[in-house]
Structure formats: structure tokens, C-alpha cells
């Protein structure tokens, strides 16, 4: 009994001593990272911890082939999509998912799983999978010391989720349908009081749509905001130029330059004179 009491007393003293020591902040072996990437009409979020090689072999060594991996270190890697996307043609609703992988020498499996609270893959349940798709790994010429997830090759409706570590890189293509979302927004917004005339017209211009409605919106903008008429006329000139209506485009550009002279901001005045002169030069007209 004496020995037990002595052991208990010593344990309590050690615990008390440990608690009394100054807490140190040391560099984490696998630092946590959060990436927020604007994509389509919303975003892609990635939250994960980044392990390093430290003299080890990543795949087929530290991470065994053919086993479900947390795709990082520490807690599970998470990906959140701000809107519905497609991966390998399969629809993934907006929301947060655990991003798991099964690495292999010839083919990887990417998994999206509903359980974002799991630690590692100790409690992984395949029944909660939302998606399983395959991707081919490629060999890198130079090893990557610290594992990296990134969103690359960004376009309005597509992007690549890229995983790089050691001499392996795997790319997962992601697509979205921003046009469906934006057209729905425009249709709804044009029913309200604060109509997005300019933004909607610019969207039609940039995406190659029928410019007739956009020209109507610009006319409404010019009437509603006469103090910014030069801005509306400039975009009217751009749209008419794109339609091949050069004479009308020149008239709109000249009107824009006439109105912008009243602008008290010398910087914006000079800028819109320059922009309108570019339109006039493009349509073969002179001021």
C-alpha cells in the first residue's frame, strides 16, 4: 500500500510539474492550410494539413497503395463547393465533404464522403460516399517535399483540383454551370427596382449572347442615371461595334466622350476618353 501511495504521489507531482511548465509553440510537422478559391458564381474551399516527406517515400511507403487515405495529415481533408458542380460527369450538390483518396501506382480513386467530422479514416463508412471517381497519376520530374492541394486552370465553368506530393501528381477536373445560374439571376433581378443594367449587359457581351436585350438595358440605364450616361453610351458603343453596326457605334462613342467632359474626376475622364477613342479607331471613325 505504501508503494502504491508513493507511486500515486509521484504521478501527481509529475502532472503538477508538467502543468506548471511554460507552454511552447513549436512548428507543426504537418501545418494546417485553408484555401478559398472563387470559382464559377461561388467558390471551392479546401481545408487540410500538409505532411512532408522528411526522407520518406510518400506513396507505396508512408501511404500504402490500395488503402483509403485522409488525403493529408491529422484530421480529415475537407472540400466545400459553393454551388452544384460535376466531377467526371457526376453531379455533386453544393456543400461540404470529406475528401478521401485511394492511391495506387496506375490509378487513383477520389472519394467524397458525407462524414466531415471523422479523424483520419478510422471510422470511414463507404455507405456515406457521395462520389467515387478514378484519375490517372503522372510522374513529376522533381519531387514535391510538402503535399499540396490546389485549384488550377481556372475558367468560368471549369477548374482542376490538383494533388502534388513526392513525384506524383493527380488532377481531378471539376465543371460548373454558371450560365444557368447567372441567367436565372438576371431574369429575377430585372423584376426588381434596382436592376443590374450594366452588369447584365456586360455578361451578354462577354458570353456571346443576343445583344438586343442588352442594348435595351443600356438605354434604360442612360435614362435612369443621366449623370453616368457616358458609361452607358460607352458600353452601348461596344455592343454596337460587336454587332458590326459601326456608324451607330461611333455615334454612341462620340456621345460618351461629349458627356464625360462634365466629369470632375480627371482620372476617369481621361480613361473614358481613351476607351471611346479605341472604339472609334476600331470602327474606322474619327472624333
| pLDDT tens digits for range 247-282 | 999 999 999 999 999 888 899 889 999 999 999 999
Same domain, 41 and 55: yes
The residue that leads in pLDDT, 119 or 147, is 147
Q: Is residue 27 assigned to a domain?
A: no
The per-residue pLDDT of the chain, averaged, comes to: 93
Residue 169 and residue 46 share a domain: yes
Mean pLDDT value of segment 81-106:
97
**pLDDT tens digits for range 222-245:** 999 999 999 999 999 999 999 999
Domain total of the chain: 2
Same domain membership, residue 150 and residue 168: yes
- Decide if 170 is inside a domain: yes
212, pLDDT greater than 80 = yes
Is residue 161 domain-shared with residue 198, that is, in the same domain?
A: no
Do both 123 and 222 map to the same domain? no
Question: Does residue 112 sit in the same domain as residue 215?
Answer: no
Same domain, 183 and 168: no
Contact in structure between 72 and 50 (CB atoms under 8 Å): yes
Q: Are residues 74 and 194 in the same domain?
A: no
Phi, psi (rounded to 5 degrees) for 246: -65, -40
Q: Do residues 64 and 90 both lie within one domain?
A: yes
pTM of the model: 0.84
CATH number reported for the structural domain that contains residue 223 in this entry: 1.25.40.10
Residues 160 and 221 in one domain: no
Question: Is there a single domain that holds both residue 152 and residue 229?
Answer: no
| 100 and 192 together in one domain | no
Q: Confirm whether 1 is domain-assigned.
A: no
Q: Which domain holds residue 135?
A: 32-176
Amino acid at each position: 500500500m505504501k508503494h502504491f501511495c508513493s507511486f500515486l504521489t509521484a504521478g501527481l507531482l509529475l502532472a503538477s510539474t508538467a502543468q506548471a511548465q511554460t507552454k511552447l509553440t513549436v512548428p507543426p510537422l504537418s501545418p494546417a492550410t485553408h484555401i478559398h478559391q472563387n470559382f464559377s458564381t461561388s467558390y471551392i474551399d479546401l481545408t487540410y494539413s500538409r505532411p512532408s516527406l522528411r526522407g520518406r517515400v510518400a506513396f507505396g511507403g508512408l501511404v500504402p497503395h490500395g488503402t483509403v487515405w485522409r488525403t493529408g495529415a491529422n484530421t480529415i481533408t475537407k472540400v466545400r463547393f459553393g454551388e452544384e458542380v460535376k466531377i467526371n460527369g457526376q453531379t455533386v450538390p453544393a456543400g461540404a465533404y470529406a475528401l478521401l483518396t485511394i492511391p495506387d501506382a496506375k490509378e487513383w480513386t477520389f472519394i467524397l464522403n458525407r462524414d466531415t467530422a471523422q479523424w483520419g479514416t478510422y471510422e470511414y463508412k463507404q455507405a456515406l460516399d457521395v462520389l467515387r471517381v478514378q484519375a490517372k497519376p503522372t510522374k513529376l520530374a522533381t519531387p514535391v517535399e510538402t503535399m499540396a492541394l490546389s485549384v488550377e486552370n481556372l475558367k468560368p465553368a471549369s477548374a482542376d483540383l490538383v494533388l502534388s506530393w513526392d513525384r506524383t501528381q493527380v488532377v481531378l477536373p471539376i465543371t460548373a454551370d454558371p450560365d444557368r445560374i447567372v441567367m436565372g439571376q438576371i431574369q429575377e433581378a430585372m423584376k426588381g427596382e434596382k436592376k443590374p443594367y450594366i452588369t447584365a449587359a456586360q455578361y451578354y457581351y462577354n458570353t456571346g449572347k443576343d445583344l438586343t436585350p442588352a442594348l435595351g438595358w443600356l438605354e434604360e440605364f442612360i435614362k435612369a442615371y443621366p449623370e453616368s450616361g457616358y458609361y452607358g453610351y460607352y458600353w452601348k458603343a461596344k455592343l454596337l461595334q460587336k454587332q458590326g453596326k459601326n456608324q451607330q457605334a461611333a455615334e454612341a462613342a462620340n456621345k460618351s466622350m461629349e458627356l464625360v467632359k462634365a466629369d470632375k474626376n480627371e482620372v476617369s475622364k481621361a480613361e473614358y476618353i481613351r476607351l471611346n477613342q479605341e472604339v472609334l479607331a476600331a470602327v474606322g471613325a474619327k472624333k
